Amino acid sequence: MKSHLFCMLLGFACPHHSLSQSDHGSFTDYQEVQAFITDASKAGLGSPQQLQALFSQAEFQPAVLQAMSAPAEQSDWRSYQKIFLNDERLQRGLAFWNAHQAALQRAEHLYQVPASIIVAILGVETLYGRKTGHYRALDSLSTLAFDYPPRSRFFRLELLAFLQLCQQQHLEPDKITGSYAGALGYPQFMPSSWLNMAVDFDQDGHIDLLNDADDAIGSIAHYFQQSGWKSGPVAIKATLQGNDYDKELNSTLAATAPLSHWATLGLTPATPGSLPASTLANVLRLHGDHGNEYWFAFGNFYAITQYNHSVLYAMAVWQLSQALENAAIHKSGL
Q: Which residues are catalytic?
A: 125
For residue 305, give Cα distances in angstroms to 64, 68, 140: 23, 18, 23
Sign of dihedral through CA atoms 195, 200, 205, 208? negative
CA 159 to chain centre: 18
Q: Find the distance separating the first CA and the last CA of the chain, reported in whole Å.
A: 34
Q: How far apart are CA 25 and CA 333, in angstroms?
A: 61
Q: Give the per-residue SS3 of 251-277.
A: CCCCCCEEHHHHHHCCEEECCCCCCCC
